[in-house]
Amino acid sequence: DAGVTQSPTHLIKTRGQHVTLRCSPISGHKSVSWYQQVLGQGPQFIFQYYEKEERGRGNFPDRFSARQFPNYSSELNVNALLLGDSALYLCASSSISGRRAYEQYFGPGTRLTVT
Amino acid sequence: GDSVTQMEGPVTLSEEAFLTINCTYTATGYPSLFWYVQYPGEGLQLLLKATKADDKGSNKGFEATYRKETTSFHLEKGSVQVSDSAVYFCALRSGNTGKLIFGQGTTLQVKP
């Protein structure tokens, strides 16, 4: 079975631009969460979505937004990019029922560099 | 708020040495606890988990026991290999959410 997939793998943007990152969950998983991992630190929770609704939000500014589609894939959008947004963006999916409910499986990430 | 603290790295060991990576947590209620591993250039892989006090999670020779009295979840392995070189993250989840709270990570380097 395919794992969580993310695109693109790498991205270079300029300050002030916006970016869209994409994530496809494991088949059967209805929940998608997004994390930001700055170099040398642990991942920080940004959003969780399931059933196309936001179910949780971390301490990130309104420049960060996301959505989930009927096929459970998700997009993370970041507007007005800052240098400090340079990070690895990780997507994780999980089921919402059963023995492994909310057990997060991570994709390989998108490396965003803001110059 | 909830938090996770890991021992600082890097940890450098010789092959076949015993490994301990300390992890302590602060949380209200009874969180689930996890260890994730991140190999260079890759995303995070779930290594093991424990969902209640005194549970022992184990996988690939690694194990960790959920100690409520000391709020700890230390990772151990009896004999490390070069292929275990990676960054290890301790994490907690409170309730039925997708929100994991991670420690800062501990880099393990195993030398032949």
Would you give the DSSP letter of residue A104?
-
Say which of B36, B42, B101 has its CB closest to residue A108.
B42
Across the interface, whether the CB atoms of B98 and A58 are under 8 A apart is answered: no
The verdict on A24 touching B (C-beta cutoff 8 Å) is no
Across the interface, whether the CB atoms of A42 and B102 are under 8 A apart is answered: yes
> Does position A1 have pLDDT exceeding 70, yes or no?
no
Q: Nearest to residue B2, comparing CAs of B80, B102, B76, B74?
A: B102
Least confident of A75-89, A92-106, B66-80: A92-106
Of all residues in chain B, what percent carry a pLDDT higher than 70? Answer: 100
Handedness of CA A24, A3, A31, A37 (dihedral sign): negative
pLDDT of residue B30: 87
| pLDDT tens, per residue, chain B with 112 residues | 899 999 888 999 999 999 999 999 999 888 999 999 999 888 899 999 999 999 999 999 999 999 999 999 999 999 999 999 999 999 999 877 779 999 999 999 999 9
Distance, in Å, from the CA atom of B24 to the CA atom of B89, rounded to the nearest integer, reads 12
- For residue B50, the chain A residues in CB contact (below 8 A) are none
Residue B71 contacts residue B24 (beta carbons within 8 Å): yes
A with B: how many residue pairs have Cβ under 8 Å apart? Answer: 64
Across the interface, whether the CB atoms of A102 and B97 are under 8 A apart is answered: yes
The verdict on B3 touching A (C-beta cutoff 8 Å) is no
What is the pLDDT confidence band of residue A2, given thresholds at 50, 70 and 90? confident
Average pLDDT of A76-94?
97
Q: One-letter amino acid identity for A89? A: Y
The verdict on A16 touching B (C-beta cutoff 8 Å) is no
Residue A65 contacts residue A42 (beta carbons within 8 Å): no
**Chain B nearest-CA residue for A106:** B44
Q: Distance from CA of residue A43 to its chain's centroid?
A: 11
What is the pLDDT confidence band of residue A96, given thresholds at 50, 70 and 90? confident
pLDDT, tens digit (0-9, with 9 covering 90-100), for A17-50: 999 999 999 999 999 999 999 998 999 999 999 8
Q: What is the 3-state secondary structure (H, E, C) of chain B?
A: CCEEEECCCCEEEECCCCEEECEEEECCCCCEEEEEEECCCCCEEEEEEECCCCCEEEECCEEEECECCCCECCEEECCCCHHHCEEEEEEEECCCCCCCEECCCEEEEEEC
Q: Which of B8, B99, B107 would best serve as a mutation to test chain A binding (most A beta carbons within 10 A)?
A: B99
Rounded to 5 degrees, φ, ψ at B82 are: -55, -35
Burial of B107 per CB tally in 10 Å (0-12, 13-18, 19+): middle
B61 contacts: CB under 8 Å, gap ≥ 6? B77, B78, B79
